[in-house]
Structure 1
């Protein structure tokens, strides 16, 4: 008798469970994005100050000119009309026109995404690598001097305000590294000159970013590995004659990586939004600095646009973490 009907009968419930799981996570993400869109409109309308008054500050303008500006930006319409217009524009991918820069918000955000991804991507890779290595070594030598020193430094840096650490590095390294920007204006336009200059400008922002981020990966990895080292299946591995370093590398570390990898994806969106402080301190021309510039306006369309992008990054990173965790952890697949 063939086993094919049995295999098909087992696979169908698995596919249905997978479909329900993915549909539930994607549906929750879409609902979150919808709530973010509504919140993005209401939140920034509650900010104090009149955008038109701010734009015309220090200029001799008449009441008629102010009324003309309000009509041009749609600020003279009732709030409910502004809301429906905002939703219709958002559905078309139109984020409005920036009050400050006089360009479409979508174009301004697209211009600043690259520097943020460069800074956050480099910082995240270094923070993950450093956190995993220190966490593994601390757990393997738990209670020792290295463990105590590494954990103490990580906790100390994690509790330091980002802006304060950035300013401290600027004062300590005065003259050694650029204090702001991404390149010097007089740098030759060829690729290698621009790359070297950009790397030189990235040193302090990346160090600041890594210093306040890597600790969470180190501590989670350490805690997971300490718990894993006492698992029963490691006793079986040792009984088979495997050396301790083989037990650690082949069995303990792969299982301990699960919570840390999930944490990395869960925090991807948060570190993008958390780059605001680093970019502002070092005048790094990314989304974080753009958000700060929009707040000084206040530039409502630009604030709404950056808020939507940063919040969407958090939601999509959480969705990726949920889907990846099902792939990595067989216990989730079996549920």
Structure 2
């Protein structure tokens, strides 16, 4: 009798545990998505009120510095809704933003969504190229430094990474322009000082021209950003190197290179995977200074132009894109992490 009860109760318990495990990840996903939605809503609210603290009158900018009557200024304010109470401007802004309408740019007299769509591919070209390069470089050098930790190569790698990571990107960009674009002494300038193209090129010559303009801004981003990936990869791999499974792999006669590539590195990359997604969103948001220094026609340069007016709808729309990129990438990293570590999300 007792035996029968035990036999029937065990499957029931295991079924309950399986059911809980099956619903744990969907609950985890729902929680992360809900948190991201709340964060985006907070960005929407913050962006509206924050940029209204910027000094400057956008209406006077739109008049081009001409002497205009008070009636004309009032007409401009009515046209763009600036004569409405602040609370009404806020509710109108939120209502339209939730439907994808980010308003009309003051200085370009064009929908903000259109201006962002025009500049976005240029930013993705710059940040995407830099992201691939500094991620691959950071992982490769971080792995090498950890496997040979304490040697002179490791000290040089980590020292250089820390130095470059601490440099302001705009300062490094200006330094590269001075040395490699303008030239110093007998050394001629090798790269353009700014922009995305020289103009007049077509076909393959156009691709080469854009790549030529892309070199210095990409080098600036790679130099500043690769150090963090290197340090995280190195630290994670050092934590794994004393593990028993690596000792067992070596005892089986596997070469040191195989132990590193097949066993140590895949397990050590878990923190790096999270960092990769976080960096992807942060690079898009942090490209403002680099694009401004190199006059790159992307979202960063557009944001700088909008701040100088201030072009409130354009600034708010770009702020939402920058912050949204960080939030979306962080959320994506959280959702993918359980695929690498099943203990997460249970």
Alignment of 1:9-158 (within 5 A): 9-158=16-165
Mean Cα displacement is larger for which, 6-15 or 86-95?
A: 6-15
Q: 2:205, 2:273 → 1: CA distance?
A: 35
Q: 1:276, 1:194 → 2: CA distance?
A: 25
Q: 1:263, 1:100 → 2: CA distance?
A: 37
Q: 1:128, 1:262 → 2: CA distance?
A: 12
- Residue 4 of structure 1 deviates from its aligned partner by 9.6
Mean Cα displacement is larger for which, 218-227 or 50-59?
A: 50-59
Alignment of 1:1-335 (within 5 A): 9-174=16-181, 175-188=189-202, 190=203, 192-333=204-345, 335=346
- Residue 232 of structure 1 deviates from its aligned partner by 1.8
Contact 2:56–2:309 under 8 Å retained in 1: no
- Residue 82 of structure 1 deviates from its aligned partner by 0.5
Q: 2:64, 2:86 → 1: CA distance?
A: 24
Q: 2:258, 2:234 → 1: CA distance?
A: 18
TM-score by length of structure 1 reads 0.95
Q: 1:120, 1:15 → 2: CA distance?
A: 38
- Summarize deviations over 1:130-184 as a string: whole Å, max 9, x none: 0001101111111111001111111111111111100110111123111111112
Q: 2:207, 2:310 → 1: CA distance?
A: 34
Mean Cα displacement is larger for which, 234-243 or 111-120?
A: 234-243
- Residue 55 of structure 1 deviates from its aligned partner by 2.7
- Summarize deviations over 1:37-83 as a string: whole Å, max 9, x none: 11111111122222112333521211111111111111111001101
- Residue 243 of structure 1 deviates from its aligned partner by 1.9
Unmatched 5+ residue regions in structure 1?
none
SS of 1:330's equivalent in the other structure is coil
Q: 1:180, 1:42 → 2: CA distance?
A: 33
TM-score by length of structure 2 reads 0.92
Unmatched 5+ residue regions in structure 2?
1-6, 182-188
SS of 2:343's equivalent in the other structure is helix
SS of 1:297's equivalent in the other structure is coil
Q: 1:60, 1:4 → 2: CA distance?
A: 85
Higher-Rg structure is 2
The size of the alignment, in residue pairs, is 332
Q: 1:122, 1:9 → 2: CA distance?
A: 48
Q: 1:101, 1:205 → 2: CA distance?
A: 26
SS of 2:192's equivalent in the other structure is coil
SS of 1:173's equivalent in the other structure is helix
Aligned-CA RMSD value: 1.8
Question: Which structure 1 residue ranges, 4+ long, deviate > 3 Å from structure 2?
Answer: 3-11
